[in-house]
């Protein structure tokens, strides 16, 4: 028998500097390829241009595997950091949570920026074999170099022969941290080009050694980009483009919006062919959308709905939804937000709650005005939307939802939805009758169904399908969804599935986390095809609520929801900056979803425009790895393996003892 390791103080490791990134790179960046590592350097250059410093950014891909990003900004500061006793440039590249973008509300050097989480270019350095930084500042040329994230060449300064300012970062991404060492060039080109059209007047250059240099500059911004993307195709109606930035007076009318926030957009409709949708926040591409996209879609749709209602353009019996309008829409959206929050370090999805309201305020009135000024064009857009709605309804009639099958009746506690459109419908798996009651009242009865669960479901690890179906709770889940338990290699027919989204919605506490883990074990081990096809989601309900009293004119009382302790600290910090009297706010901690009123549950966790969902979609390779992890963490025979895993990953594991 193997000798038992002693669990004492010597077993507790404290990772220093960039070691956490090298140990667990997947927590900080994509590990499929190094594009995000390079993007961090590009985003820093763009933030300088966004702040009004520099008109040109050059990205060069060299034959030796390195990528160089050069800007005309102010140059990363090189003077000595008062607390760290190191040059500021060294601090920025070797320390997590160090940067110039944490200050907000006009106090810092960046009012609007894409960088926020403070790990950015330090992660790029940590995951590179070598990193060279050259800074032009105050008539001097400063150079510093790192290898494996550690300082290799101390800061060296000399008089610059060039009259310029700016920063040049050259990275050699380390292949051992990535599945593929190659940067996808099409994605890199799209990224570099997008910066140019999002910031009119900015020139971006992509140079690949041995190939022709590509340069972009869009003086007309998004409208010019549309010409490029459409490639000669005609729009069904003229392009609707606009921009709205809230000044201090306008922002004062809305409690959550700050001066300088707003958006620019361009949207057009095509009768046929492919469509495209590009959204950005502070010039960072949000490939998975987020709250800003939800607000934009809502604002555009509500404006068209109002236009159609006043002119009686909707056929009887046809209820339009936002998807009908956006099926044939091409759009590009650029939001500017001060207190920006992303889902994860890769910043692909925005989760800032007030962004939905901000974007709706930006675009709804503007589009209503545009439609009233262009009534014939508005009618053409409405006709396209109605066409899509009729097509959707026709498809729904062909595939009728089964209320029951020959072998099973739908569970009695299932509160079903009215719509027959599988893709649009959602099933919420809710913990307990109390939360189930709130969810039933809060839901959109048209497209949201609720299945309350009693207690903790069976741990299905190492259980066969017969045992799974013998359990009443799990049988109810499988029957409601319309999926039979199956294995990873099984061929399974999902044509009988009854909901496009299956959403696990549990309390934000330890018990809720346990139930969530048991449900995910069931889906990953006994319904893996459901996961692979992207039907499974996990809701992210808030843990805290802050009640903030009104503060005179223009600052009415408000309610702020926070996902966790970090968000609450940030929200309180923001209130202090707004000079709200310390302690004037009241903090409540939700014991569970059942404690929320239906209105609160809808606003925070069920409303598609403001909720936060994590999609559990993995490819077959990732699924295999995930299933192995579930086996390690959930199998009763893996106690020793779990102990070893917790020793290795103690820093990223949370436990209530």
> Is residue 129 included in any domain, yes or no?
yes
Give per-residue burial for 240-258: e unless 16+ CB within 10 Å, then b.
bbbebebeeebbbebbbbb
Helices 354-373 and 375-398: angle between axes, nearest 10 degrees: 120
> Is residue 558 included in any domain, yes or no?
yes
- Find the range with the poorest average confidence among 27-41, 58-72, 201-215: 27-41
Is residue 322 domain-shared with residue 211, that is, in the same domain? no
pLDDT at 373: 94
Secondary structure string (H, E, C) spanning 65-127: CCEEEECCCCCCCCCECCCCCCEHHHHHHHCCCCCCCCCCCCCCCCCCCCCCCCCHHHHHHHC
pLDDT at 104: 43
Positions of E strands within 282-360: 284-285, 329-336
> Is residue 405 included in any domain, yes or no?
no
Q: What are residue 350's DSSP bridge partners?
A: 290, 342
pLDDT at 401: 45
Task: Point out the domain boundary residue: 162, 182, 217.
Answer: 217
Does residue 528 surpass a pLDDT of 50?
Answer: yes
Q: What is the share, in percent, of the chain residues with pLDDT greater than 70?
A: 82
Task: Say which CATH number the domain at 392 has.
Answer: 3.30.230.10
pTM of the predicted model over 0.85: no
pLDDT digits (tens, 9 = 90+) for 536-570: 999 988 888 888 887 766 667 788 888 888 888 88
Contact 623, 529 (CB under 8 A): no
Is residue 344 domain-shared with residue 327, that is, in the same domain? yes
Residue in this structure with the two tokens 């040109």, named with its chain if needed: 56
- Find the range with the poorest average confidence among 545-559, 606-620, 627-641: 627-641
> Is residue 406 included in any domain, yes or no?
no
281-282-286 Cα angle (round to 5):
30
pLDDT at 9: 57
Residue in this structure with the two tokens 């190094």, named with its chain if needed: 34
Does residue 620 surpass a pLDDT of 70?
Answer: no
The burial class, CB within 10 Å (0-12 / 13-18 / 19+), for 599 is: exposed
Rounded to whole angstroms, the Cα distance separating 516 from 501 reads 16
DSSP, collapsed to helix, strand or coil, labels residue 386 as: helix
* Domain around 255: 222-398
Mean pLDDT of the chain, nearest integer: 81
> Is residue 14 included in any domain, yes or no?
no
Is residue 166 domain-shared with residue 294, that is, in the same domain? no
Element (H, E) at 158: strand 150-159
Q: What is the share, in percent, of the chain residues with pLDDT greater than 90?
A: 26
Contact 367, 240 (CB under 8 A): yes
Average the pLDDT over 90-119 and give the result.
Answer: 54
Rounded to whole angstroms, the Cα distance separating 4 from 18 reads 30
56-59-64 Cα angle (round to 5):
155
Is residue 243 domain-shared with residue 135, that is, in the same domain? no
pLDDT at 645: 60
Q: In the structure, how many helices (H) and strands (E) does the chain have?
A: 20, 21
Does residue 111 surpass a pLDDT of 60?
Answer: no
> Is residue 486 included in any domain, yes or no?
yes
Task: Say which CATH number the domain at 643 has.
Answer: 3.40.50.670
pLDDT at 100: 46
More confident residue, 467 or 305: 305
> Is residue 34 included in any domain, yes or no?
yes
pLDDT digits (tens, 9 = 90+) for 209-238: 989 999 999 888 888 888 888 888 889 999
If one counts every other C-beta atom within 10 angstroms of the C-beta of residue 203, the result is 18
Active site (catalytic) residues:
431, 507, 509, 511
Distance between terminal CA atoms of the chain?
28
Task: Point out the domain boundary residue: 181, 199, 217.
Answer: 217
**C-alpha distances in angstroms, 328 versus 214, 272, 542?**
30, 7, 35
Does residue 475 surpass a pLDDT of 50?
Answer: yes
Is residue 552 domain-shared with residue 515, that is, in the same domain? no
Rounded to whole angstroms, the Cα distance separating 483 from 502 reads 12
Contact 354, 256 (CB under 8 A): yes
Q: For the chain, how many structural domains are there in total?
A: 4
Q: How confident is the model at residue 390 (pLDDT cuts 50, 70, 90)?
A: confident
Is residue 393 domain-shared with residue 306, that is, in the same domain? yes
- Closest alpha carbon to 546 in 570, 526, 527: 570
Q: Which residues contact 458 (CB under 8 A, 6 or more apart)?
A: 467, 468, 471, 473, 474, 518, 522
Is residue 340 domain-shared with residue 255, that is, in the same domain? yes
Is residue 474 domain-shared with residue 577, that is, in the same domain? no
Is residue 42 domain-shared with residue 165, that is, in the same domain? yes
Rounded to whole angstroms, the Cα distance separating 350 from 32 reads 21
Q: How confident is the model at residue 642 (pLDDT cuts 50, 70, 90)?
A: low
Phi, psi of 174 (to 5 degrees): -85, 115
Q: How confident is the model at residue 399 (pLDDT cuts 50, 70, 90)?
A: very low
Is residue 205 domain-shared with residue 233, that is, in the same domain? no
**C-alpha distances in angstroms, 488 versus 499, 524, 619, 625?**
21, 9, 12, 12
> Is residue 598 included in any domain, yes or no?
no
Q: Which residues contact 165 (CB under 8 A, 6 or more apart)?
A: 53, 72, 73, 74, 75, 136, 137
Does residue 21 surpass a pLDDT of 80?
Answer: no
Average the pLDDT over 474-489 and give the result.
Answer: 84
More confident residue, 145 or 603: 145
Is residue 376 domain-shared with residue 485, that is, in the same domain? no
Contact 66, 171 (CB under 8 A): yes
Sheet holding 586-589, edge to edge: 558-562, 544-548, 586-589
Task: Point out the domain boundary residue: 398, 413, 446.
Answer: 398
The burial class, CB within 10 Å (0-12 / 13-18 / 19+), for 343 is: middle
The two structure tokens encoding residue 71: 């800007």
The two structure tokens encoding residue 615: 């999609």
The two structure tokens encoding residue 261: 């926030």
Is residue 58 domain-shared with residue 164, that is, in the same domain? yes
- Find the range with the poorest average confidence among 2-6, 22-26, 138-142, 193-197: 2-6
Task: Say which CATH number the domain at 179 has.
Answer: 3.30.565.10
pLDDT digits (tens, 9 = 90+) for 584-593: 889 988 877 8
Rounded to whole angstroms, the Cα distance separating 434 from 413 reads 13
Rounded to whole angstroms, the Cα distance separating 449 from 446 reads 9
Contact 457, 519 (CB under 8 A): yes
Rounded to whole angstroms, the Cα distance separating 503 from 481 reads 11
pLDDT at 438: 82
DSSP, collapsed to helix, strand or coil, labels residue 258 as: coil
pLDDT at 10: 55
């Amino acid at each position: 028998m193997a000798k038992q390791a002693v669990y004492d103080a010597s077993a507790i490791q404290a990772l220093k500097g960039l070691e956490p990134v090298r140990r667990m790179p997947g927590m900080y960046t994509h590990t499929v390829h190094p594009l995000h590592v390079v993007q961090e350097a590009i985003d820093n250059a763009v933030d300088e241009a966004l702040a009004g410093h520099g008109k040109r950014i050059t990205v060069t891909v060299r034959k030796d595997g390195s990528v160089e990003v050069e800007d005309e900004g102010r140059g990363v500061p090189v003077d000595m950091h008062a607390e760290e006793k190191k040059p500021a440039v060294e601090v920025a590249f070797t320390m997590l949570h160090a940067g110039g973008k944490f200050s907000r509300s006009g106090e810092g050097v960046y009012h609007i920026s894409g960088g926020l989480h403070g790990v950015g270019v330090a992660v790029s350095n940590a995951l590179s074999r070598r990193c060279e930084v050259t800074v032009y500042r105050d008539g001097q040329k400063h150079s510093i170099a790192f290898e494996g994230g550690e300082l290799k060449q101390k800061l060296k300064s000399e008089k610059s022969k060039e009259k310029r300012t700016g920063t040049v970062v050259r990275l050699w991404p380390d292949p051992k941290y990535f599945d593929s060492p190659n940067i996808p060039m099409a994605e890199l080109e799209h990224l570099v080009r997008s910066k140019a059209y999002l910031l009119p007047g900015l020139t971006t250059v992509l140079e690949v050694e041995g190939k022709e240099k590509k340069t972009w500059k869009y003086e007309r911004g998004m409208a010019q980009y549309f010409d490029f993307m459409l490639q000669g195709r005609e729009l069904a109606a003229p392009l609707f483009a606009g921009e709205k930035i809230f000044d201090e007076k306008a922002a004062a009318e809305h409690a959550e919006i700050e001066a300088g926030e707003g958006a620019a957009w361009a949207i057009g409709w095509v009768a046929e062919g492919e469509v495209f949708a590009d959204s950005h926040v502070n010039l960072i591409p949000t490939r998975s959308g987020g709250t800003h996209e939800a607000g934009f879609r809502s604002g555009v749709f509500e404006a068209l709905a109002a236009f159609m209602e006043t002119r009686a353009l909707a056929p009887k019996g046809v209820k339009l939804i936002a998807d009908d309008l956006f099926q044939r829409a091409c759009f590009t959206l650029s939001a500017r937000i001060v207190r920006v929050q992303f889902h994860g370090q890769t910043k692909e999805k925005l989760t800032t709650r007030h962004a939905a309201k901000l974007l709706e305020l930006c675009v709804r009135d503007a589009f209503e005005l545009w439609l009233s000024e262009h009534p014939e064009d508005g009618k053409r857009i409405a006709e396209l939307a109605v066409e899509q709605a009729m097509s959707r309804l026709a498809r729904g009639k062909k595939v009728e939802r089964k209320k029951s099958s020959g072998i099973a009746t739908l569970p009695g506690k299932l509160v079903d939805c009215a719509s027959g459109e599988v893709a649009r419908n959602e099933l919420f798996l809710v913990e307990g009758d109390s939360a189930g009651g709130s969810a039933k009242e809060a839901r959109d009865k048209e497209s949201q169904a609720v299945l309350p669960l009693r207690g903790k479901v069976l741990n299905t690890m190492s259980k066969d399908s017969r045992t799974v179906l013998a359990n009443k709770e799990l049988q109810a889940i499988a029957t409601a969804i319309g999926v039979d338990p199956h294995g990873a290699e099984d061929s399974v027919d999902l044509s009988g599935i009854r909901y496009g989204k299956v959403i696990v919605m549990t309390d934000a506490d330890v018990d809720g986390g346990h139930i969530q883990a048991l449900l995910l074990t069931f889906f990953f081990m006994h319904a893996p095809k459901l996961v692979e096809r992207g039907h499974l989601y996990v809701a992210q309900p808030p843990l805290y609520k802050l009640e903030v009293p009104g503060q005179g004119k223009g600052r009415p009382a408000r309610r702020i929801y926070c996902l966790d302790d970090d968000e609450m600290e940030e929200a309180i910090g923001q209130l202090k900056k707004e000079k709200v009297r310390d302690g004037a706010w009241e903090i409540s901690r939700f014991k569970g979803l059942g404690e929320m009123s239906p209105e609160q549950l809808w606003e925070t966790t069920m409303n598609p425009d403001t909720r936060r969902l994590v999609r559990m979609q993995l490819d077959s390779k990732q699924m295999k790895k995930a299933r192995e992890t579930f086996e390690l963490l959930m199998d009763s025979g893996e106690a020793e393996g779990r102990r070893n895993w917790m020793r290795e990953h103690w820093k990223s594991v949370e436990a209530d003892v």
